Structure 1
Amino acid sequence: MNAWLAVLLGGGVGSVCRYGVVRLATAAGATLFPWGTLAVNVVGSLLAGVAYALLAERMNAAPEWRALAMAGFLGGFTTFSAFSLETVRLAEDGHVAAALSNMALNLVLCLAACALGLLLVRRYA
C-alpha cells in the first residue's frame, strides 16, 4: 500500500470516528461546552504518543503504516494530536522555549484566525 492511499483510508476512518464521538456527546446533552471535541483532542493526543512510540520507536514500522495511523487516522480524528506530539517532542528534546512558544502561538493564532473567519463571514457574506 502506498502512503497516499494509507492516509486516505486512515483519514476517512478517523473522520467518521470523530463525527461519531461528537454526535454521542451532543446526544448525551453536551450542548454548551464542546465535550465531544475535547474528548477527541485528548484521546487523539494520547493515541499520537502511543502510535509514535510504538510505530516509530519500538516497531520501526514501514512509513505507510505510520502514515495510516498518524497523518491518516489521527489527522482525520483530530489535528490537535499532531500539535500535542510536536510540542511534547520539543520539550523532551530540551527545547522548552520552543515548546512553550509552539503552545502560545497555536492557541493565539488559531483562536484569532477562527474569530477573523467568523467576523469576515458575518460582516461581508
Structure 2
Amino acid sequence: MPVVLWVALGGAIGSAARYTVNVWSGRMFGTEFPWATLTVNVLGCFIMGALTEMMALKLNVGQETRAFLTTGILGGFTTFSAFSLDFAYLVERKQVMAAGGYAIASVVISLIAVFAGMNLVRTLIAS
C-alpha cells in the first residue's frame, strides 16, 4: 500500500481519537476552558517524543510504519506534536536561534492567521 494511504488511515484513527478526547474532556471538565485541545497537544507531544525515540533507538520500522504512526495517527490527533518535534530537532542540532524563531513565528503568525481568517469571513458575510 502506498505511504500516502498509510498516512490517510492513520489520520482517520488520530482524528477519531481526538474527537473521543474532546467528548470525554467536555464531560469531565466542561467546555469553559479548552481542556480538550490542551490534553491532545500535551499527550500527542509526549507520545511523539517517546515514539520517535523508540523508533530511532529500538524499533526497526519502515517508512510506511513511521509515516502511519507519526504523520498519520499523531498528525490526525494533533499537529502540535509535529511542531514540537521540529522544534526539538532544531534545538538538538544546536540551532537554538532558529528554534526560537520557529516557535515564535509559528505561534504568532498562526494566531494572526486565525484572526485574519475570522475577519475575512466576517467582512464577506457583513457585506
Given the two structures, how large is their TM-score scaled by the length of structure 2?
Answer: 0.92
Structure 1 letter corresponding to 2:58: R
Structure 1's unaligned 5+ residue stretches are none
Q: How do residues 12-27 of structure 1 correspond to structure 2 at under 5 angstroms?
A: 12-27=12-27
Could you tell me how far 1:16 is from its partner in structure 2?
0.2
Q: CA deviation at 1:67?
A: 0.5
Q: Please tell me whether the aligned partners of residues 56 and 66 of structure 1 are also in contact (alpha carbons under 8 angstroms).
A: no
* Counterpart for residue 40 of structure 1: 40
Equivalent residue runs for 1:86-105 within 5 Å: 86-105=86-105
Contact 2:29 2:35 in 1 (8 A): no
Distance in structure 1 (CA, Å) of the matches to 2:97 and 2:52: 23
The equivalent of 1:124 in structure 2 is: 124
CA distance in 1, matches of 2:94, 2:64: 29
The separation in 2 between residues aligned to 1:57 and 1:102, in whole angstroms, is: 27
Letter in 2 for 1:114: V
Unpaired runs of at least 5, structure 2: none
Structure 1 residue 28: deviation in Å? 2.1
Q: CA–CA distance in 1 between the matches of 2:123 and 2:25?
A: 31
Q: 1:111: which partner in 2?
A: 111
Single out whichever of 57-66 and 12-21 deviates more from structure 2.
57-66
The answer (yes or no) to whether the contact 2:11–2:74 under 8 Å persists in 1 is: yes
Identity, in percent, stands at: 42
Aligned residue for 1:80?
80
Q: Shift in Å at residue 2 of structure 1?
A: 2.8
Q: C-alpha separation between the residues in 2 aligned to 1:59 and 1:43?
A: 21
- Output the CA distance in 1 between the equivalents of 2:48 and 2:6: 16
State the AA in 2 paired with 1:50.
A
Shift of 1:59: 2.0
